[in-house]
Structure 1
Amino acid sequence: MTEPVAARWVVIDIEGTVTPTSQVREVLYDYARPRLGPWIDEHPDDPEVGAAVADVRAEAGLPADAGTDAVVAVLHAWMDADRKATPLKTLQGLIWRQGYADAELTTELFPDVVGALLHFHDQGAGLAVFSSGSVAAQIASFSHTGDGDLRHLFQHHFDTTNAGPKREARSYRAMTEVLGTDPGDVLFASDVPAELDAAAEAGWRTVGLARPGEPFADADFGTHRAVTTFDDISIEVPA
């Protein structure tokens, strides 16, 4: 981006934007996959787990008393299809949070990310995350990165539960209310053109990350500015 963008807030996607897709679909998915069943069985009285399991049964059309094996089979099928199902994200997030706490997981960010986020932060911009991964997973992920604990950089975390679907403008309008600013003061960075379309419809400014080797590297970003690195994103925080 040759010209700075006026922005009071920078909201970032995670997968394909600040972390390689392989970090999620290989490292994190492979970690959660064998642990889903044991986690469900070991937390029978956890209301968050119970609600997620009930939602899986309802969404998949399973009987209300379907056992763990049937629930896990659905969860695995959703993972194979990369379906952004909220109960799956909830259970994965709980498992990943424990994995980060046990120092079994570390988030690897693209090398241009941390310096850019620190610069935005130092300029006085607010930083937030909007990901299909649960808020619990987001916080855990940024607490254990190859660059240290970055949780202090972010003021808000949004997911499909507290904001809404990532490809619908209403989700971005809801986040604008939480951020307490005008939509034109928010810059959203994502590698998915459909998400950028929804953000732009809500009045946000947008920038697409077309990172070489990532799934959306050759995508048509239309009218959205597209860059290959955060080093090419420049902002100015209005006085």
Structure 2
Amino acid sequence: MDKSSDLTFCVDCVILDVEGTTTSIKFVKDELFPFAASHVKRHLQDNWQIRETRDDANAVLRQAEEDSGENLADVGNDNQDCVIDRVVKLVQDMIAQDRKVPCLKNLQGKIWKKGYEDGRLKGHVYADVPTCLKQWREDVGVQVYIYSSGSVAAQKLLFAHTEYGDLTQFLNGHFDTAVGPKTASESYVKIATSLATPADKILFLTDIVAEARAALAAGMRVVLASRPGNAPVELSDGEHFPTVSSFADIVLVKSRE
């Protein structure tokens, strides 16, 4: 792809989506999600004596209660094995439905942590990502952040344990849905405010059109990522976003302001 003016940006910060942008959707769907689903029971059993684990289980039950309107018992009021089995079923259903709720993302991150640390999991990033992250940080001098529906803890684990080594040295920080939904323009306004950077000096990369629209509405510059396995992009009449298949297609110039 030609490095045209359409792909040249004068910015101070870059914000990257993960799934479908830095990282293969296939890795998330076929490796991370099944790993969490198959290891959630062992995680709960092995760590049930820790208050934090029981709190995590309670958060799942509260989410199910909110979803269904049913009044579910607290984990302290039922047989441990029964509670664990119930939470496992709820978690596996949430994973199958690709829910973005915090209780699931939090629990998944803790399950993945052990997998990354013992080498059973290696975070996937596309081959252009390590080189571009290094170039953007060290040569161009822009700051690089991650904004994903996955928890901040899960983001850090993925980028610390990639096939290319630890990439967290090239990241300035992380955002998750605690700042707000990724399809809400207010979330991007909050991020720009927290970075003390004008929105038009921030470039956001994502594969999701609804997220691109939200970031654009907040005043950010936006590029769509077209990676293998991504869903087809459907734009409205007259709508246009620059699109790249590799981060190397993008030319960054550090803002002088």
TM over 0.5: yes
Match of 2:129 among 113, 116, 121: 113
Structure showing the higher helix proportion among its residues: 2
Taking structure 2 as the reference length, the TM-score comes to 0.86
Indicate how the Cα distance of structure 1 residues 46 and 205 shifts in structure 2: closer, same or farther if over 3 A, else same: farther
Q: Is the counterpart of residue 142 in structure 1 residue 165 in structure 2?
A: no
C-alpha RMSD over aligned residues: 1.7
What is aligned with 1:20? 24
What is aligned with 1:64? 73
Give the number of the structure whose alpha-carbon radius of gyration is greater.
2
What is aligned with 1:7? 11
Equivalent residues of 2:209, 2:233 under 8 A apart: no
What is aligned with 1:73? 89
Question: What is the CA–CA distance in structure 2 between the aligned matches of 1:215 and 1:104, rounded to whole Å?
Answer: 25
Equivalent residues of 2:56, 2:107 under 8 A apart: yes
**Percent sequence identity over matched residues?**
32
Give the residue type in structure 1 aligned to 2:187.
S
Q: CA deviation at 1:39?
A: 1.4
Partner SS, residue 148 of structure 1: coil
What is aligned with 2:170? 153
What is aligned with 2:33? 29
Give the residue type in structure 2 aligned to 1:152.
Q
Equivalent residues of 1:210, 1:219 under 8 A apart: no
Equivalent residues of 2:204, 2:220 under 8 A apart: yes
Equivalent residues of 2:63, 2:103 under 8 A apart: no
Equivalent residues of 2:23, 2:124 under 8 A apart: yes
Q: CA deviation at 1:115?
A: 1.4
Question: What is the CA–CA distance in structure 2 between the aligned matches of 1:210 and 1:217, rounded to whole Å?
Answer: 9
Question: What is the CA–CA distance in structure 2 between the aligned matches of 1:75 and 1:224, rounded to whole Å?
Answer: 36
* Structure 2 segments unaligned to the other structure (5+ residues): 66-70, 76-82
Matched positions, count? 237
Partner SS, residue 110 of structure 1: coil
Q: Is the counterpart of residue 53 in structure 1 residue 68 in structure 2?
A: no
Match of 1:193 among 204, 209, 214: 209
Partner SS, residue 172 of structure 1: helix
Indicate how the Cα distance of structure 1 residues 230 and 83 shifts in structure 2: closer, same or farther if over 3 A, else same: same
Q: How does 1:202-217 map to 2 (within 5 A)?
A: 202-211=218-227, 213-217=228-232
Give the residue type in structure 2 aligned to 1:41.
Q
Question: What is the CA–CA distance in structure 1 between the aligned matches of 2:55 and 2:222, rounded to whole Å?
Answer: 35
Runs of 4+ in 1 over 6 A off after TM superposition: none
Question: What is the CA–CA distance in structure 1 between the aligned matches of 2:212 and 2:246, rounded to whole Å?
Answer: 17
Taking structure 1 as the reference length, the TM-score comes to 0.93
Q: CA deviation at 1:59?
A: 1.8
